[in-house]
Structure 1
Amino acid sequence: MKNLIIALLLGTSIMAYGQKEGKPRQQMQDFTPEQRAVLKTKKMTLHLDLSQNQQDQLLALNKKWAKEREAKKAELKSLNREEMTSDQKFKQMNEMLDTQIAHQKEMKKLLNEKQYDVWKKSMGKKSQKLKERKEHYAKRQRLHQK
């Protein structure tokens, strides 16, 4: 009987922990593009030890990029990826990479060499995490389709 009670308590506590609300990514979706830009700038200031001048410049860039990202997101929602031709997909991917290259060039102008190296390494880690998350999602989708 004691084992049953312990098992029930353990099971309910695990379920309650697993259903916590407010994952960081979901919280960020509630913010406006400008609010996201401010938070991103502050995080980067802490991470890269930016000067006040760099902070101001980065905030302006982040606001611009956040607005562009919001517009692109709205545009992509209206598209049906499955109905896109390979040329349309290529064009979309090419535009995305051109944007990333432009952002990287702007960051290189803004940051000193040491800060740029730290930023570049952190971007590599973020892209690796994103890749892992996509692989995990695709794996889950395949399991549910079977």
Structure 2
Amino acid sequence: MFAPFRSQASAYGRVQVETTVSSADPHALVVMLFDGALSSIAAARGAIQRGDIEAKGTNIGRAVRIVEEGLRGGLNRQAGGELAENLNNLYGYINSRLTHANLKSDDAALQECHDLLAGLRDAWTQMQQAPRKNAA
């Protein structure tokens, strides 16, 4: 009875995300990647608590892809110098901890990854706001 509505709502959600991504500036896109990874980690932690192995794996896999393909893959290691290299290493470490968390259902490892990514997201957001504050 409600299946068509769910399908329409899902399609609307996809269009909304696509519209947001296509109109976002590069800085906002990185924030969206951090938010997606953090959301996936939170969902994986909930799945561990519920004993839902499939959802745990799906959400950790999503977080790994975001970190690897979105955040790590977007680094310009030649132009970014030492900072880009340090971020590359940190993203590699986060992905190894996510993989460990998936294999061992280790909530503490997920919390560690969440804390690291949340700190990076906060720093990234502050960098984005700094030019606006200086301009004012």
TM-score range, shorter chain: 0.3 to 0.5
Q: Looking at both structures, which has the greater relative contact order when contacts are Cα pairs under 8 Å and sequence separation is at least 6?
A: 2
Larger radius of gyration: 1
Q: TM-score, with normalisation over the residues of structure 2?
A: 0.34
